[in-house]
Every structure is written in structure tokens, then in C-alpha cells.
Structure 1
Amino acid sequence: MIKKILCIVGCLLGATLQIAAQTIDSLYKEKYRPLYHFSPKEGWIGDPCGFIHYQNKYQMFWWGKVESQDLVHYQEITPFVMTGENIDMSYFTGSVAIDKHNTAGFGKDVYVAAYTIFEKETKKQMQGISFSHDGKTFQYYENNPVLDIGSTEFRDPTIFYYKPTKRWIMVVAKALEKKVKIYSSPDLKHWEWESDFGPYGDQEKSWECPDLFQLSVDGDWNDKKWVMVVSVNWAKEQYFIGDFDGKEFRLIDNHPQEPLYVDKGMDYYASRTFRDYDFTLTTTTTMGWVATWDYAQLVPSTYGKGFWSIPRNLQLKSYPEGLRLIQIPVPQLEMLRYNEVTCNRELAVGVNKVDFFTPSENSYELDLDFDVEKSNVFGVNLCVGNGRKVTISYDTDSYNLVIDRTNCTDARIPKFSRVEHAKVVPINGKLRLHLYVDKSSVELFANDGKDVFTFLTYPGVSQTGIELFALKPGTNFSFKGWMLKSVWF
């Protein structure tokens, strides 16, 4: 009898595990689900809202929470961390800090989230805080808001501790004025205005989601500058390089008047850097939202909407035209590689199928080097199949790199058919294109991360072909390709 009961229990358990395994298997094999970018199990994911490195883990919030040990594999903790709020409000974008010395009175080493409170009736945007002892459930602070200037366009705070003045800093956007307001506080509850930065650079529509952090110059930590990143026009990010003294952010001498864009593609927004509360990291790493508001809620994914970029390490590097931000994919991603293919030859005139690297699905990495000393127009077609493709082309005379996805997706997405271009100057007679292709996106790092292009694709499942093309003979290239394993199974 006992053996029979154990057998029944075992069968039931086995069936349950099998159903669970099938559910997970089908969930992470949905048509457009990224295989190595983070996306939630279901539902909406938007702006990164608090990226910290603490207790030897990368902890990431979108007011849901996910953790990672290596920035490659992810463990989703909960779809929503907030509790205790007023029903007449919503949580907008924000950030998270660790209060190491109990300045706020919630306890030592407590998590404190700062965010924008959106008041549904008045449409006001105010800054509030919540606190957590476990990093999984955040209690709404009863005396919120902690900062209210009576505005309907005042949002997206980033907070961090500034050691020289022993005060907390908040940078928060005054969106339609194209300003970043800078505040300081001794306790995260009482905030004093210090200064405004802006308008500057791209001033077309709005500023959102500011971040402010320090980077070394040319790898020398004795020479550091501050970088302010601001999301603009609900579509892109621009950055500024300067100095910060706890009160004001001032641009470096000879800072260009024209915008410096973080990403020159179509779909990169609201990035956040990881704040290191273990004080063990040697890199500054960021991730952004791969979307644009024109169609973010209309894309055809079935699990929900939205995902984040691959993580990127940031640097400042000197060029003849001045300091520029460099973005390098984190090296941990190399653990996903398999089936390496290499090739060196001259580009054939015309459009030619790449028959030496033939992925069965869009989950791969390419590292391409082109000699550009001879005049030519050349490039690569990705996601080729069923009469569709996305084209990346380069003109060696004008240095113009063009991305054309006007005929890429098999879905109907309003305002998705677009072309983007930017000037990309070759380095030492070569153009390097380092590409990460996932099920519904491409991230292109040109010239070792000086020029970056992120864009969505949403191709059909059979659109896995790759082509190389050239208008004229004489361009040599080298090709490295790797298939990339899924991080989900």
C-alpha cells in the first residue's frame, strides 16, 4: 500500500514537473522572445529603475526585480516590489540605493527606492521613497512625497551618495524645460535644491531619466570626469562630459554644442548604470530599454512588451575631436559562444549569401573587419528570408553608415519602418562592426564601441539568412561568427 501511494505521489510529482518544464520551455521559446537579453516572464517592462551591485549580486528593478550573478543569466525575483501606496497614485521611473549608515532612520544597510509619484487626479509628478530590509518588498514612506514642486513634468530621480560632502544627491528631470535639477540631502527625506543643468545639446521635445556617474579617462583613474546621460524626445539618449562638486555639474572646456548621442540607433532609452555598494567592481556597467515610445506598446511579442539591452561597460577615451563615451559588451557574454566560424577574403561584387555561417535561428554574434582604403559601398544584410531583410551599409567616401529596416518584420507595427544613419569614421584604415543579433533585435558596436546602434527587428522565424554585398571590387574583410546559447534553458 505504501509503495503504491509512493508510486502515485511520484507519478503526480513527475507529471507536475513535466508540465512545469513544458511551460518554461514554451514560455522562453516564444516567437520574438530574446534568447540572451533579459525580458520578464510576462507583462510590461520599461525603464530600468535602480541598478545596484550589492551582496555579490547585480540587482535590477523595473518595480519588478531580477538578479544576476554574472550579467548573463537572470533570476526573476518578483513582478512587483512595492507595497503600501495610495490607490490614487502610480509609480514612475526611479532608482535604488543602499543606506549603509542609516541616514534615513529605516535601519543600517536598508534598500531605499526613490521614484516619481504620479498623482492620477491632478497629474502632478512628485518624488517619493520606499524602503526594504530584504530588497524584495518595499514599504511606502508614510510622509511622501519627499520632494514636490507642484509640477506635472518633474520625474525620474537617480540618487547616489556623494562622499566628499557626505550628502545624498538626486538628479531629476524637469522634462519640458529640458533641465536636470540637482538636489542634495543628509537623510533621503529632506531635499535642498543645489542647481540646474540645461538646456543644452538636443532640446527638441523633452528630457527624462537622468543619470550622473564618474568614469576614468583613457583608463587612468587619476584622471576622472563625470558623465551625465539624459533620455531625449522619447526616443534617444544624449550624454555630457563635465565636472561635479556635489552642487553643480559643469561641462568640460570645448564641449561640443551639437548633441553627443549614447546610441545612434532607433531603440535605446532610459539606461542606468550599476551603483556598486560592495565597492568591489572595477568597471562601470549600464543597460538600457530596447524600445521607442512610438511603438513600444504595439510590438507583436506575446509574453508581454519590452526587454533590456545586453550589459555594456563604459569608458571615456580621447580622440582628436575630444573625449567620447565608449561602450563595450561585457566579456562575460563570451560564455554563450559556440560553433565559431572564421573567414578572410575579398568581398565579391553584388549580393552574396554567407554560406559558411548559417544560423538556424537569430541568436548569434558577428565580428566583422573591413578594409576601407579603396572607395566602395558595402555592407551586410541580416534576418534575410521571405523577401525581407535588414540592411547595414557603409560608404567609404562619406563615412556614412546606414541602417535600413523598412522591410524587415513579418508583423504589422505602426511607425516601425525606418532608416537611420550616422557618420562613422574608420580607425587605421579599417571599419569594425561587432554585432549581437537576437530574436527581435540587433546591437551594433562600431569601431570598438565608439559608435553604437541598437534597433528592433521582429523578423519571421525563417528569416535567419546573412548576406554580404559590395558595389565594387577590392574590399577585403575578415569574418568571425558564433552561435549564442539561450540563457533560459
Structure 2
Amino acid sequence: MKFTFALYIFLLAGIVSVNAQVSSDSLYSEAYRPQYHFSPQKGWIGDPSGFIYYQGKYHMYWWGKVESTDLVHYNEITPFAMTGANSNIAYFTGSVLIDKDNSAGFGKDAYIAAYTAFEKDSKKQAQGISFSHDGKAFHYYEGNPVLDIWSTEFRDPTVFWHEPTQKWVMVVAKALEKKIKFYTSTDLKNWTWTSDFGPAGDHEKSWECPDLFQLPVDGDFNNKKWVMVVSINWAQEQYFIGDFDGTSFTLMDNHPDTPLYLDKGLDFYASRTFRDYDNTLKNTVSMGWVATWDYAQLVPSGYGKGFWSIPRNLNLKTYKEGIRLIQNPIEQLQTLRYKPFSIKRSLQVGIQNIPGFVPEENVYELDATFSTDTSNTFGFNLCTGDGRKVVISYDTDSHNLVIDRTHSADVAIPKFSRMTHALVEPIDNKIRFHIFVDKSSIELFTNDGKDVFTLLTYPNASQTGIELFAQKKGTNMELNAWMLKSIWK
């Protein structure tokens, strides 16, 4: 995670503690505060740094800690889970595991955090571990670092147990070399290098925050592939599909040379999957950081900086061009729905409001399906008001989807005004937009989740309008919409 130390200092200097005297009427009602995404009470949140499911709870760390039983409602435990390092060490991004058999000697079922230990004076990045018996307060291992190659660009370990080889595996980035390095261990303290992967795909600037996990192909649990996700260029994520034997990762046959991007929006980074230590979860779920390093420290939110995406179920699906990753919002989010609205209509030429669905705030869900068998360009204007809007536009001829937030924010944010686009193929002459709007962000899942777009928006409180537009006649639409309850009220 780039610049983590500077942000850690920001957290220490600017955070209001969990026990601070904050009015219940104002907490979680601040301008731009998301209402169904997780953000800490106060202060900075960056990369997800340890996602596990254990003893019936989801445990999530950013070196603060939050717990959840449903990934909809959250209980913030502490903003400071790490203790014991000397003042020259800062904790960078990493992961958490449960040492069920006491392989590290800290006790049976100990929580172990593996992370990058950053030396402030030398700028060196090495890998360290801390242990906990309650998952809330982690104690620094005095034998740290456990892995040190004397590099300033060696970071963000994901550690997990590989059952076939009966070893712990560490997946860690050599950032500016655009490589992922693999190490194995039996005790989490002594690590042996086994292989490197990369550069591959998009290797323009930097690689970091790797994750590696298995998914079934087309729902067949007897046919699984390994997926490696890598955060790139401090702005985006790409993924690779292949096989992992406990020591090295190899790409599947016919893997494209061109990058496979996890999210084609403007603000999604450093995602992590939950490791299931209860062996009871049916789905593999991930969450990412909704931010980009160009302006992460400059956004106008008053409660602090940063929040995490809605949780997403991950799967692999076979298409004509090959196997691809698909993402869809978890079904539990449907419990937040109220004021349901449905409409079927043929789009009119020009711009129209949606009669019957007029949100008072940008906290809602849209699920719209459009016909594409007639030549047209159509879409939504979201967060409209005061001359500002976010445009989601689709061209049926080119299959080009464009998202333009150039004039969306009500404040000036350096490097913020951008647009993005991608080719999105219709399915059976239809295109589906499943959209989640939450105060200062939009997440768009198209069709079955093959193409996903996440972006920050920062409209003011009066920018709550929704408009439909079309250049021509002949496009039919089916729309379902809901307001979404705040998880904090």
C-alpha cells in the first residue's frame, strides 16, 4: 500500500476515538458519509488488511477492526488493533489467519496478522507478524521481521494454509518489479522462496496487494481454478486465472495477454477475499477500498477519509472468449430495501424524469434492463441538480458504455474529474444495469456481473435527481427501484 505511513500518521494525529463525545444525531450523518458502506466512526480507512470468517463472524481489519454477522451491519471494535512495535515501525497492508494447530507457538487458535513492517528511518519494507488471543489486540513478535530481502518495495502479504502441501503460503508483491513472490513455511516464522510470477498483463507502473483464492467454474465445485488479484498502478486491479500447486502459479491455457480488469470504474482498489476458518461459507466474498491514490487524501469527507465497497460474491463463468471472473452484490443487501417501485416503458426521445421514484437522498438501488435490438444511445443521469450530474450512457451499435462524472462533485478535487468507458456486450439483445448509489459513490454491475464499475461522486445534498435519456425511439425498459435503509440508524 503506497504512502501508508503518511496516512497512519494522519490517523494518529486526526482521529477522534471511539469513546469520543459525538452526538448520535450527527454521527454517520456527515456530508458525503455512505449509509450502507462501511466507514469507521472517525479517521482514515485504507486497504482491507485481513478478512476472515471465524466463529460465526466476519472479522475485518485495516489495523483497526470491525466485525459483522451479515456483511450488512457492522460493529466497530477498535481503531487500533496493533500494539508493541517500536516507534520506528509502521504497520502496512497485510492479512490475518487462524493458527488452529499452534504452528507458530503462540497458542492453539491464535489470530496471526501478517503485514509489511515499514522502517521509517531506512524506508525498508519487510514482512512481520503479530499474534492475538481475542482478535482485538495484536502483540508484536519480537523476532520480527520474519522475511526481509532488504527492499523498499516489498509489501502487502496474503498468507493462507495450503492443505495439499501442509504448508503456509505467503503471496507478496515486489512492487516496482511488477512481480508476485511466493514463499512457504511450516511455522509462520521461517520462510522459503519458491517462485515468482510476473510481469504480465498490465505492468506499467506498480504491483501491490496480491490475493490468491480458488473459485468453481460455472458453479462446478469439482472444477476449480485459482484466481490471483493484483492492485496495479496505484489506481486499479487486474486478475489472472490459472493453477497453483502450493509453490507456483501458472496461467490457464488461452489466458489473454491483454489485462483482465476486476473493476472498470475509477475508484476500486486493494480488494481482499474472506478466508473461511469455519468451513461453512457457500460463497467467496470480497470487498475493496473505494478510492484512488491520486486524490484519496483530498476528498472532502468530514468524518475521515475512505470507505469500503459493498460485499461482492465472486464466481468464474465460461464465455465464448474464455473463463472470466464475475461479481455480484451479496443478497443480504436486499434486507435494506424499502419503498419498492417498478415500471415498464418505451424510452422517449430526450430527457425525462422517472415518475413515481424521486429519492430525497442518494441512498438507493436501481435494477434496469434495456432492449438493444434497436439502434440507440440511452442511459441515466444520476445525482442531478445545480447543473451537475453523473452520466451513464450506452451505445447499442458500438456496445460502448461510458460513465462521465466530470461535472458531478460540488467541490473542487484535484485530478478528480474523469470519465471511463468499456465495451459491454448485450446478452440476448438486452443490457442490464444494476446500480447502487450511496451518498458519494456509485457501483454499477452490468449483465451478470462480468463488467463492474465503481466510482466516487461527491454531489451535494440537493443533487438527488434521476433522469432517463434516449437519442431515438424504440428502446424498451424494465426498471425496479428501491430506497435503501441506513445501516447506522
User: How would you bin the TM-score normalised by the shorter chain?
Assistant: over 0.9
* Aligned AA (1:88): N
Which position in structure 2 is the counterpart of 1:48? 48
Cα distance between partner residues in 2 of 1:398 and 1:188: 52
Which position in structure 2 is the counterpart of 1:12? none
Q: Deviations over 1:445-466 (max 9, x none)?
A: 0012110000000000000000
Which position in structure 1 is the counterpart of 2:57? 57
Q: Deviations over 1:12-65 (max 9, x none)?
A: xxxxxxx99971220111110000000000000000000000010000000000
Which position in structure 1 is the counterpart of 2:122? 122
Which position in structure 1 is the counterpart of 2:137? 137
Cα distance between partner residues in 1 of 2:429 and 2:197: 39
- The reply to whether residue 366 of structure 1 matches residue 366 of structure 2 is yes
Which position in structure 1 is the counterpart of 2:423? 423
Look at both structures and tell me which one has the larger radius of gyration over its CA atoms. 1
* Aligned AA (1:303): Y
Cα distance between partner residues in 2 of 1:88 and 1:419: 41
Mapping 1:194-273, distance limit 5 Å: 194-273=194-273
**TM-score (normalised: structure 1):** 0.96
Which position in structure 2 is the counterpart of 1:32? 32
Q: Deviations over 1:235-276 (max 9, x none)?
A: 000000000000110000000000000000000000000000
Cα distance between partner residues in 2 of 1:159 and 1:304: 29
For the residue of structure 1 that corresponds to 2:150, the secondary structure is coil
* Aligned AA (1:158): T
Which position in structure 1 is the counterpart of 2:433? 433
For the residue of structure 2 that corresponds to 1:266, the secondary structure is coil
- The reply to whether residue 382 of structure 1 matches residue 377 of structure 2 is no
For the residue of structure 1 that corresponds to 2:25, the secondary structure is helix
Which position in structure 2 is the counterpart of 1:155? 155
Which position in structure 1 is the counterpart of 2:412? 412
Which position in structure 1 is the counterpart of 2:9? none
Cα distance between partner residues in 1 of 2:58 and 2:24: 23
Cα distance between partner residues in 2 of 1:26 and 1:150: 47
1:322 shift after superposition = 0.3
* Aligned AA (2:35): L
Q: Deviations over 1:42-93 (max 9, x none)?
A: 0000000000000100000000000000000000000010111011111100
Taking structure 1 as reference, are residues 179 and 20 closer, same or farther at Cα in structure 2, changes over 3 Å only? closer
Which position in structure 2 is the counterpart of 1:349? 349
Taking structure 1 as reference, are residues 143 and 217 closer, same or farther at Cα in structure 2, changes over 3 Å only? same
Mapping 1:156-195, distance limit 5 Å: 156-195=156-195
Which position in structure 2 is the counterpart of 1:397? 397
Cα distance between partner residues in 1 of 2:248 and 2:293: 31
1:355 shift after superposition = 2.5
Cα distance between partner residues in 2 of 1:471 and 1:161: 54
- The reply to whether residue 317 of structure 1 matches residue 317 of structure 2 is yes
Which position in structure 2 is the counterpart of 1:286? 286
Which position in structure 1 is the counterpart of 2:96? 96
Cα distance between partner residues in 1 of 2:20 and 2:406: 39
* Aligned AA (1:380): F
Cα distance between partner residues in 1 of 2:56 and 2:195: 35
RMSD over equivalenced CA pairs, Å: 1.0
Task: Name segments (4+ residues, structure 1) moved above 2 Å.
Answer: 19-22
Cα distance between partner residues in 1 of 2:371 and 2:275: 39
Cα distance between partner residues in 2 of 1:147 and 1:186: 14
* Aligned AA (2:181): K
Q: Deviations over 1:339-363 (max 9, x none)?
A: 0000000001001122321000000
Cα distance between partner residues in 1 of 2:245 and 2:432: 38
Cα distance between partner residues in 2 of 1:396 and 1:205: 34
1:412 shift after superposition = 1.2
Cα distance between partner residues in 2 of 1:23 and 1:273: 34
1:411 shift after superposition = 1.0
Cα distance between partner residues in 2 of 1:177 and 1:347: 50
For the residue of structure 2 that corresponds to 1:27, the secondary structure is coil
* Aligned AA (1:223): N
For structure 1, list consecutive stretches of 5 or more residues without a partner in the other structure: 1-18
Cα distance between partner residues in 1 of 2:360 and 2:424: 31
Q: Deviations over 1:134-183 (max 9, x none)?
A: 00000000000000001100000000000011100000000000000000
Taking structure 1 as reference, are residues 165 and 22 closer, same or farther at Cα in structure 2, changes over 3 Å only? closer
Cα distance between partner residues in 2 of 1:355 and 1:28: 30
In the alignment of these two chains, the number of paired residues is: 471
Taking structure 1 as reference, are residues 21 and 469 closer, same or farther at Cα in structure 2, changes over 3 Å only? farther
* Aligned AA (1:454): T
The percent identity for this pair of structures is 70
Cα distance between partner residues in 1 of 2:244 and 2:355: 53
For structure 2, list consecutive stretches of 5 or more residues without a partner in the other structure: 1-18
For the residue of structure 1 that corresponds to 2:24, the secondary structure is helix
Cα distance between partner residues in 1 of 2:473 and 2:437: 27
